[in-house]
Structure 1
Amino acid sequence: MHVLVIEDNPDIVANLFGFLEPLGYTLDVARNGSAGLHLAIQNNYDVIVLDLSLPGLDGVEVCRRLREEHHNPVPILMLTARDTEHDKVTGLSVGADDYLVKPYSLLELDARLKALVRRVRNEQVRHTLTYDEIELDMRTGTAARAGKTIAITPIGYKILLALLRQAPRLVSREALEREVWGDNPPESDALRTHIHALRQSLDKPFERPMLITRAGLGYRLAPANAT
């Protein structure tokens, strides 16, 4: 899970890295609201941990701009040292999905982050991801397009899953490599090879391509009838 932490307290940041990284999380950190907003816009995150009190832009303004100006649907867990109803209501009203009051349990933070990601992916009640003509069964690892089963490798499955979760948004090369290989991507151009293999199965038998490459930017899924 790729998490953006927007927090100016170095001790809290260190605790989050020390607890979450061994659980398999990949963390990016921003120490102020402006830097956090920039990272959130430029990258695809599974969830954001956002402190309410930040230098420069505070957490409420960061959240508001992400939702209203950039229409970014990433789940946001807001951290606040203020245990008041007003602060909680304000955070939720500008688009935060959940909140924790400091000091908080790291075990509870882990559970809430995972619950937010499951909720936004609708994976608690749904085992199949669909976009336009593509269907991916997460229980069996099988995929189909327009009702026809397509052959995919285990890595092709991971790539397609990442693209479906973001469709039709662009997914950067770095984000795809992180989904497939974690923090240890191969030095060779392996991703391009696997993208080519996935495209052969996903697009070649059909009239219109759905797996689109944006040179220098990344990859995305587009509707089969896109012009």
Structure 2
Amino acid sequence: MKVLIIEDDAAIAANVYDYLESRGFQVDLAANGPAGLKFALSDAWDAILLDISLPGMDGLALCRALRQQAHRDTPVLMLTARDSLDDKLMGFSHGADDYLVKPFSLKEVGARLDALIKRYRGRVAAQALRFADLTLDLQTLAVERAGRPIKLQPKCLHILRLLMLAPDRVLTRQELETEVWGGEPPGSDTLRTHIYMLRKALTKPGDAELVETVHGLGYRLSTGNANAPQSS
């Protein structure tokens, strides 16, 4: 998952950066408002951590520009020392999705980010994920392709779920390994082996290949005939 931190306090930015990176996030930093807005519009982020008191353009103006001018709905978690109710309401009125007052716990930052990203991706109420002719039932974990039941080993199923949650993004090896194996990274060929088994299970003669290798980066779901990803 990709997170942008827009924060001018170098110590806070470094602490949050290190914590999120240790959890497998891809993280980038901006230290002022104009640079932050440029970064926010230059890539597809899963979430943005946004300070309010920024040089060049404050976080409120940045968030408003992101919503009203660029029409981006990327989840925004505001981090600020301003703790009054009026300050919080101002943040929400400018487009923030959540608000966390400094000083804060890094674990709470992580928990709030997880919740925001989950809701943004439709994982809170979704019953199934669909991509092209592939379906994953989130309740039963049953997988079907064109109505054909597919049996997967648990880790292959976990990898497929991650890919189906973000089919428009390349998931790096580090992201997948951290999500699937946690703090015990596997051997160098383990992920590749599971990707091979996943492809073999999903693809029969005549089927389009769905799991694409993006050399030097990672993997994503892709097919020339794929429909837009859906959830229900």
Q: TM-score, normalised by structure 2?
A: 0.69
Aligned to 1:162: 162
CA contact (8 A) 1:32 1:57 kept: no
Aligned to 2:137: 137
CA contact (8 A) 1:136 1:142 kept: yes
Moved more, 157-166 or 50-59: 50-59
CA contact (8 A) 1:49 1:77 kept: yes
The one-letter code of the counterpart of 1:197 is M
Alpha-carbon distance in 2 for matches of 1:60, 1:214: 37
Unpaired runs of 5+ residues, structure 1, are none
Q: Secondary structure at the match of 1:149?
A: strand
Alpha-carbon distance in 2 for matches of 1:86, 1:95: 15
| C-alpha displacement of 1:173 | 2.6
Moved more, 204-213 or 102-111: 102-111
Aligned to 2:29: 30
- Gap change, CA 1:62 and 1:199, over 3 Å in 2: farther
The one-letter code of the counterpart of 1:168 is D
| C-alpha displacement of 1:61 | 6.8
Q: Secondary structure at the match of 1:113?
A: helix
Alpha-carbon distance in 2 for matches of 1:182, 1:107: 16
> What's the CA shift string for 1:14-34, capped at 9, x where partnerless?
87689x77xx94464736244
Aligned to 1:219: 219
Aligned to 1:146: 146
Q: Secondary structure at the match of 1:96?
A: coil
Q: TM-score, normalised by structure 1?
A: 0.70
- Gap change, CA 1:216 and 1:38, over 3 Å in 2: farther
> What's the CA shift string for 1:63-95, capped at 9, x where partnerless?
578778998754221123345788667755765
Moved more, 3-12 or 115-124: 3-12
> What's the CA shift string for 1:139-164, capped at 9, x where partnerless?
33321111211121111112111111
Unpaired runs of 5+ residues, structure 2, are 227-232
CA contact (8 A) 1:143 1:150 kept: yes
CA contact (8 A) 2:30 2:39 kept: no
CA contact (8 A) 1:66 1:72 kept: yes
Aligned to 2:9: 9
Aligned to 1:180: 180
| C-alpha displacement of 1:204 | 3.0
| C-alpha displacement of 1:36 | 9.6
- Gap change, CA 1:111 and 1:35, over 3 Å in 2: closer
| C-alpha displacement of 1:125 | 1.8
Aligned to 2:197: 197
| C-alpha displacement of 1:188 | 1.6
Is 1:96 the counterpart of 2:100 in the alignment? no
Aligned to 2:118: 118
Moved more, 88-97 or 194-203: 88-97
| C-alpha displacement of 1:195 | 1.0
Alpha-carbon distance in 1 for matches of 2:174, 2:57: 27
| C-alpha displacement of 1:120 | 1.3
Q: Secondary structure at the match of 2:198?
A: helix
Q: Secondary structure at the match of 2:140?
A: coil
The share of aligned pairs that are identical, in percent, is 44
CA contact (8 A) 2:76 2:97 kept: yes
Count of matched residue positions in the alignment of Structure 1 and Structure 2? 223
